């Protein structure tokens, strides 16, 4: 059996097994299996060794809180090094990468969103925000980062060495904003009544919202975009696509995205 899985602490909420196992089944890959491996922070190094040497694991996805701390134990590629976080490890050569950037950029493209030249407000300064900022900074988008803790936005921009500015909400000019990317957990179940946009600031007219939150399928932020004549895309596509790129790294095969999307929606109890 070729095993793959997700390490994190906790991991029980993850729908990744549903995505990957549905793709294995669709491709007739009965000798592959994806499962959840809860790994407390203090035993990370030993757990990697055990999974690799005794567990029969080909590789793993990595989630909170290990994305950064796992770096010294693997060989991160240039992308993972630039972001300072890993989400996919291949135990066969201990290489590691970060498929969040590809997942995000690929999903923008799949939704017909070309950030080149756009005025973008990126909300957040955590791991997800770093991946999005890195991807967007490879385009000609003009990026303002707003975050509850401004210092973290400044540090993120400097750390990545990209061209973007950290801004207070008061400095956001709604008339200019064309794309809003939410990289925070604000609006996610169980806090679905909250909105990542600061409601003291007028909501931009006709802007596109990309909300990395996928639970619920439609967040308040997404509702606001549509109510103001704009478009909204939720984060399920990024989740599926980052998973698909990890699948490709382990198996050499690109999984059927429609199968992964259907499995994800079923696992979340969401309709199309």
Member of 47, 99, 147, 242 binding ligand ATR (CB under 6 A): 147
Residue 182, strand partner residues: 123, 211
Count, residues near ligand ATR per rule CB under 6 A = 15
Which residues touch 47 (CB under 8 Å, ≥6 apart)? 7, 37, 39
Member of 152, 218, 231, 248 binding ligand ATR (CB under 6 A): 152
Site string for ligand ATR, 20-59 (x = CB under 6 A): ----------------------------------------
Write out the H or E segment, with its range, that includes residue 8: strand 2-8
How many residues belong to the chain?
272
**60 or 131: CB nearest ligand ATR:** 131
Measured distance CA(228)–CA(169) in Å, rounded: 19
4 φ, ψ to 5°?
-140, 170
Stretch that binds ligand ATR, among 51-59, 132-140, 184-192, 230-238 (CB under 6 A): 184-192
Any contact of residue 125 with ligand ATR (CB under 6 A)?
yes
Residue 180, strand partner residues: 121, 209
**64 or 202: CB nearest ligand ATR:** 64
In 10 A of CB 248, how many CB atoms? 15
Measured distance CA(79)–CA(98) in Å, rounded: 7
Does 67 participate in catalysis according to the annotation? yes
Any contact of residue 128 with ligand ATR (CB under 6 A)?
yes
Q: Which residues are catalytic?
A: 67
Give the footprint of ligand ATR on this chain (CB under 6 A).
64, 124-129, 147-149, 152, 183-186
């Amino acid at each position: 059996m070729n095993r793959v899985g997700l390490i994190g602490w906790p991991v029980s909420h993850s729908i990744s097994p549903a995505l990957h196992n549905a793709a294995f089944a669709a491709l007739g890959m009965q000798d592959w299996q994806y499962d959840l491996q809860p790994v407390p922070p203090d035993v990370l190094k030993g757990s990697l060794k055990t999974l690799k040497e005794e567990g029969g694991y080909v590789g793993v996805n990595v989630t909170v809180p290990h994305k950064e701390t796992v770096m010294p134990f693997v060989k991160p590629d240039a992308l993972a090094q630039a972001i300072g976080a890993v989400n996919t490890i291949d135990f066969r050569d201990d290489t590691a990468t970060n498929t969040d950037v590809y997942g995000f950029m690929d999903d923008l493209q799949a939704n017909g969103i070309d950030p080149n030249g756009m005025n973008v407000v990126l909300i957040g300064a955590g791991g997800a925000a770093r991946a999005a900022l890195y991807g967007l900074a490879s385009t000609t988008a003009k990026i303002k980062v707003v975050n509850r803790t401004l210092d973290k936005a400044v540090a993120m921009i400097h750390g990545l060495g990209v061209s973007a500015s950290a801004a207070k909400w008061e400095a956001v000019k709604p008339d200019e904003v064309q794309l809003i990317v939410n990289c925070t957990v604000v609006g996610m179940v169980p806090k679905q009544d909250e909105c990542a946009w600061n409601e003291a600031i007028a909501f931009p007219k006709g802007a596109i919202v990309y909300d990395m939150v996928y639970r619920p399928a439609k967040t308040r932020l997404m509702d606001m975009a549509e109510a103001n004549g704009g478009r909204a895309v939720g984060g399920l596509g990024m989740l599926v696509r980052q998973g698909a790129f990890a699948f490709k790294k382990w198996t050499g095969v690109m999984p059927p995205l429609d199968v992964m999307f259907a499995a994800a929606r079923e696992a979340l109890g969401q309709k199309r």
